[in-house]
Amino acid sequence: MFVGETGYSSDDLSPARRSSVSFSLHMLRTTRHDKRHFVPDIHHHASEGENGLKIILAKQAGFCFGVKRATQMAFEAAAKGGKTCTLGPIIHSPQVVQRLEEMGVKVLSTLTDLDSGAIIIRSHGVASEELQEARRKELEIVDATCPFVKKAQEHVKSLSQAGYDVVVVGDADHPEVQGIVSYAKGPVYVVGYGEEAAKLKITGKIGIVAQTTQSFENLKNVVLECLVKGSEIRVFNTICDATAVRQEEAKELAKRVDCMIVIGGYNSANTTRLAQVCAELQPRTYHIETAQQLNSTWFEGVGTVGVTAGASTPKWVIDEVLEHIERIDKDTTHFDSSRVC
């Protein structure tokens, strides 16, 4: 049996208890230390299967602070009953979205057809116009926007009001960035890299914020380019390093094991990136969404398997994968002597 603290403590969302969600916010881990000084914590929790397969679960696997908070708010709203919808999927986890749908929560792409009930705002926020429309329609608003994303939105608004041209470092197609940009009241530009910032035709007062999942290096490069152009620069480091922390820890784990399992939605950018960084170090890396996708042949000749999960992967999905790997180990007698444990 696998036992271990994994940093996502969302037991409340297990099937048996999902109608009475009660997270302890003091247990949530916010990791906003500067990642330039980040030292990966490799004190993972491990278990050993019946045939000696060692399973190591990354300490930071699964929900980050903002996703955990949003999921909690969504399940609490759903448990109240009544007409409840989310504007876009609440988080990038098809399993969570499906559970909410089973509780009657619909996913909408716009507010056009909603005239009453509650609307849940996803963790990476929505455009300010959409919030205004929800207020205008007098909908009950359950704002699950991550506080770190909210901060970036507020900085854009205040920079813009103070007469700065705003530069947002990030992916222009990402809903979080589209939401952040919508808070500008004047000129606003989205740039992915320093090279793009170099092409901007801006001068004078420049204010800079970043999409929360950007790398510090990228933000720094954009700031350097803007320094050449502007007469006054204000920078807000709005990067949340939950993603970077997961990646650094996963890299350390991938180097130490014979096989890596990365769990999370295929539509989750941070899980996909997690799988990529692991695959660069461990060719036997598999990205799965659910336990049913595990294949026993992946574990042939494997002594130690590492498991990690994206920031939007719920605990129950991780638990099912761990239990499934243990079952595969139990049912298998041919693991060879190359075990590391």
Stretch that binds ligand SF4, among 101-109, 239-247, 271-279, 283-291 (CB under 6 A): 239-247
User: Can you tell me which of 262, 311, 321, 322 binds ligand SF4, judged by CB under 6 A?
Assistant: 311
Closest CA to 68 of 310, 341, 333: 310
Please check whether residue 96 is in contact with residue 51, taking contact to mean a CB–CB distance below 8 angstroms. no
Please name the helix (run of DSSP H) or strand (run of DSSP E) that holds residue 168, with its range, or none.
Answer: strand 165-169
Rounded to an integer, what distance in angstroms lies between the CA atom of residue 329 and that of residue 325? 6
Least CB distance to ligand SF4 at residue 270 (A): 7
> Rg of the Cα trace of the chain?
22
Interaction of residue 71 with ligand SF4, rule CB under 6 A: no
Q: Which residues touch 201 (CB under 8 Å, ≥6 apart)? A: none
Least CB distance to ligand SF4 at residue 119 (A): 19
- Nearest to ligand SF4 of 66, 314 (CB atom): 66
What is the per-residue binding string for ligand SF4 in 99-128, x denoting contact by CB under 6 A?
Answer: ------------------------x-----
Query: Taking the CB of residue 306, how many other CB atoms lie within 10 A of it?
Result: 29
Rounded to an integer, what distance in angstroms lies between the CA atom of residue 126 and that of residue 74? 15
Catalytic site residue from 130, 133, 176, 225: 176
Stretch that binds ligand SF4, among 43-51, 129-137, 223-231, 240-248 (CB under 6 A): 240-248
User: Can you tell me which of 28, 55, 61, 67 binds ligand SF4, judged by CB under 6 A?
Assistant: 67
- Computed from CA positions of residues 289, 290, 294, 298, in that sequence, does the dihedral angle turn out positive or negative? positive
Per DSSP bridges, beta strands 259-263 and 285-288 are parallel
Please check whether residue 69 is in contact with residue 27, taking contact to mean a CB–CB distance below 8 angstroms. no
Least CB distance to ligand SF4 at residue 97 (A): 16
Closest CA to 307 of 41, 54, 43, 57: 57
Rounded to an integer, what distance in angstroms lies between the CA atom of residue 7 and that of residue 321? 17
Rounded to an integer, what distance in angstroms lies between the CA atom of residue 315 and that of residue 12? 9
Q: What residues pair up with 232 in beta bridges, in sequence order?
A: 205
Interaction of residue 66 with ligand SF4, rule CB under 6 A: yes
Please check whether residue 238 is in contact with residue 151, taking contact to mean a CB–CB distance below 8 angstroms. yes
Please check whether residue 85 is in contact with residue 118, taking contact to mean a CB–CB distance below 8 angstroms. yes
Stretch that binds ligand SF4, among 94-102, 142-150, 301-309, 321-329 (CB under 6 A): 142-150
Interaction of residue 28 with ligand SF4, rule CB under 6 A: no
Interaction of residue 64 with ligand SF4, rule CB under 6 A: yes
Stretch that binds ligand SF4, among 6-14, 98-106, 143-151, 328-336 (CB under 6 A): 143-151
For residue 176, indicate whether it is catalytic.
yes
Stretch that binds ligand SF4, among 71-79, 128-136, 141-149, 160-168 (CB under 6 A): 141-149
User: Can you tell me which of 214, 243, 308, 313 binds ligand SF4, judged by CB under 6 A?
Assistant: 243
Least CB distance to ligand SF4 at residue 304 (A): 28
What is the per-residue binding string for ligand SF4 in 200-229, x denoting contact by CB under 6 A?
Answer: ------------x-----------------
Residues of this chain that bind ligand SF4 (CB under 6 A): 64-67, 123, 146, 148-149, 212, 240, 242-243, 311
Catalytic site residues?
Answer: 176
